[in-house]
């Protein structure tokens, strides 16, 4: 029975919301729904390459750097040390929210240990992709080079910029390194820009810096609820995803503790977000890809264009091996199925129940991209429901066939469904299952 065992999954003290496919699962919507009962919402990884689209009333807001919880008046939103932050983008978004009448003052906190993305990282991103033998299809936002600098111990952190003299020094070193690398890649070193351009908004930082881990620990100790919001998805995790066509950070739930400076024992609930079908943006294999006609149809119905780049997303059937793998890697306590309504007009729906590879069946999500490229999904076909689900607010409002589809997903993923989303609006959700 859908949701029965998921009781409590939505009411954890410290809940991680993690994408369980190739990103764009609708995490923003799920966080938005859960945010009303939380006091703190913190992002634990990623940068301005993630685009959360949130609809509030008739307004559509795309947030790249500000946590989507910022749209809830009174909530405090934090960016943890695991995030790489584009300060220009962050302040632009905060100004835009303020212009729309959403007061964010005193509600945003940024870890001093977070690394900063500068224009020179974007120049490096473009030049690296241009020179690459295998193109990853990055968003060009400088995220990869910023994480690379972090791991190579030449990154610039928010803390550095709080001291203007020291900040200018470390930025200059970063710039110098970027100029040399650009020249090596055959690009114009001048593309790295100048220090003033890089640190133009640093003076706005002092009001934002926060001890993210301590704030979360205090909230939890006081019995208040916390949400930890991931970006991208499990299949894009730098370790667990379809390497090398992945993002440059750990997206999975384990990274949540590291990325906001709390211990793993503080987390008591992990909600995995899956779309009722699958999409992928950027390069790399997509085993359950639709044929071109169906691809086009679902892309239009689901509005499957990147929130950051506007690039069309490739679409496919629900891939249970990916979601089941994500359930294990993230230790899911519940799943949130989004965009069920996008399938409303289909006569039949298919689910990939497993993979076949070189005559072998029951193959798990493989470690290499060439194996993932070679897998053949084993499909099960179920009847469609051919009626609108957008008005459903309880499970019993859904057509029988839609419930069967969800039950099958739950069975194959091995995790109870805790939420079903049936539209873009905040109210279009089923949480009483």
Q: Are 174 and 160 in contact (CB under 8 A)?
A: no
Interface with ligand GDP (CB under 6 A), residue total 22
**Closest residue by Cα to residue 158 from 251, 259, 81:** 81
Site string for ligand GDP, 63-92 (x = CB under 6 A): ------------------------------
Task: Write down the catalytic residue from 52, 72, 115, 121.
Answer: 52
288 Cβ contact list (under 8 Å, min separation 6)? 278, 316, 317, 318, 319, 352, 377
Q: How far is the CB of 427 from ligand GDP (least distance, A)?
A: 11
**Candidate ranges 21-29, 149-157, 210-218, 285-293; the one touching ligand GDP (CB under 6 A):** 21-29
Other residues' Cβ atoms within 10 Å of the Cβ of residue 164: 11
Q: How far is the CB of 51 from ligand GDP (least distance, A)?
A: 5
Q: How far is the CB of 111 from ligand GDP (least distance, A)?
A: 21
352 Cβ contact list (under 8 Å, min separation 6)? 287, 288, 317, 318, 319, 320, 321, 377, 378, 379
Q: How far is the CB of 132 from ligand GDP (least distance, A)?
A: 25
In the bound state with ligand GDP, the residue whose beta carbon lies nearer, of 82 and 423, is 423
Q: Any contact of residue 404 with ligand GDP (CB under 6 A)?
A: no
d(CA 93, CA 47): 13
- DSSP-assigned states of every residue in 112-162: TTSEE--HHHHHHHHHHHHH-SS-----SSSHHHHHHHHHTT---BHHHHT
Other residues' Cβ atoms within 10 Å of the Cβ of residue 165: 6
Q: How far is the CB of 286 from ligand GDP (least distance, A)?
A: 16
User: In which residue are the tokens 């992002």 written?
Assistant: 43
Q: Residues 23 to 52: which contact ligand GDP by CB under 6 A?
A: 24-29, 50-52
Q: Any contact of residue 272 with ligand GDP (CB under 6 A)?
A: no
Q: How far is the CB of 271 from ligand GDP (least distance, A)?
A: 12
Q: Any contact of residue 421 with ligand GDP (CB under 6 A)?
A: yes
Q: How far is the CB of 424 from ligand GDP (least distance, A)?
A: 4
Concerning whether 64 is annotated as a catalytic residue, the answer is: no
Site string for ligand GDP, 305-344 (x = CB under 6 A): --x------------------------------xx-xx--
Task: Write down the catalytic residue from 24, 32, 86, 125.
Answer: 24
Q: Any contact of residue 55 with ligand GDP (CB under 6 A)?
A: yes
Angle at 253 between CA 247 and CA 256, to 5 degrees: 85
Q: Any contact of residue 280 with ligand GDP (CB under 6 A)?
A: no
Q: Are 137 and 312 in contact (CB under 8 A)?
A: no
Q: How far is CA 167 from CA 122, 141, 164, 310, in A?
A: 19, 22, 5, 34
d(CA 120, CA 127): 11
In the bound state with ligand GDP, the residue whose beta carbon lies nearer, of 28 and 287, is 28
Concerning whether 72 is annotated as a catalytic residue, the answer is: no
In the bound state with ligand GDP, the residue whose beta carbon lies nearer, of 164 and 303, is 303
At residue 321, φ and ψ (nearest 5 deg) are -60, -40
**Candidate ranges 161-169, 292-300, 344-352, 422-430; the one touching ligand GDP (CB under 6 A):** 422-430
Q: Are 260 and 80 in contact (CB under 8 A)?
A: yes
Which residues are catalytically annotated?
Answer: 24, 52
Binding site for ligand GDP (CB under 6 A): 19, 24-29, 50-53, 55, 303, 307, 338-339, 341-342, 421-424
């Amino acid at each position: 029975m859908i949701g029965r065992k998921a009781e409590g999954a939505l009411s954890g003290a410290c809940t991680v919301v993690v994408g369980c496919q190739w990103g764009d699962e609708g995490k923003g919507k799920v966080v938005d729904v859960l945010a009303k009962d939380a006091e703190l919402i913190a992002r634990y990884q990623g940068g301005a390459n993630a685009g959360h689209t949130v609809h509030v009333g008739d307004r559509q807001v795309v947030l790249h750097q500000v946590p989507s919880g910022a749209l809830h008046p009174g909530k405090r939103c934090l960016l943890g040390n695991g995030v790489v932050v584009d300060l220009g983008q962050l302040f632009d978004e905060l100004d835009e929210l303020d212009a729309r009448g959403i007061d964010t003052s005193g509600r945003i906190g940024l870890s001093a240990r977070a690394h900063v993305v500068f224009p020179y990282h974007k120049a490096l991103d473009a030049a690296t992709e241009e020179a690459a033998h295998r193109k990853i299809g990055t968003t060009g936002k400088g995220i990869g080079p910023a994480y690379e600098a972090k791991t190579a111990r030449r990154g610039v952190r928010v803390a550095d910029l709080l001291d203007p003299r020291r900040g200018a020094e470390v930025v200059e070193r970063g710039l110098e390194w970027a100029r040399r690398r650009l020249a090596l890649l055959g690009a114009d070193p001048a593309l790295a820009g100048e220090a003033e351009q890089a640190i133009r908004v640093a003076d706005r930082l002092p009001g934002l810096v926060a001890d993210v881990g301590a704030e979360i620990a205090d909230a939890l100790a006081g019995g208040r609820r916390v949400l930890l919001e991931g970006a991208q998805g499990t299949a894009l995790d730098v370790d667990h995803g379809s390497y090398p066509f992945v993002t440059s950070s750990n997206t999975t739930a384990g990274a949540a503790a590291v990325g906001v400076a709390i211990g793993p024992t503080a987390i008591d609930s992990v909600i995995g977000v899956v779309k009722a079908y699958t999409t992928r943006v950027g390069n790399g294999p997509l085993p359950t890809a639709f044929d071109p006609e169906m691809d086009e149809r679902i892309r239009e119905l689901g509005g499957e264009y990147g929130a950051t780049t506007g690039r069309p997303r490739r679409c496919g059937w629900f891939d249970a091996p990916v979601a089941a793998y994500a359930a294990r890697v993230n230790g899911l306590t519940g799943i949130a199925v989004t965009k069920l309504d996008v399938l409303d007009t289909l006569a039949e729906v298919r689910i990939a129940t497993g993979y076949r590879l070189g005559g072998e069946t029951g193959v798990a999500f493989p470690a290499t991209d060439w194996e993932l490229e070679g897998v053949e999904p084993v499909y099960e076909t179920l009847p469609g429901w051919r009626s609108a689900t957008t008005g459903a607010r309880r499970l019993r409002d859904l057509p029988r066939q839609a419930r069967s589809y969800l039950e099958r997903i739950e069975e194959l993923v091995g995790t109870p469904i805790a939420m079903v989303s049936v539209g873009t609006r905040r109210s279009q959700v089923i949480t009483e299952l």
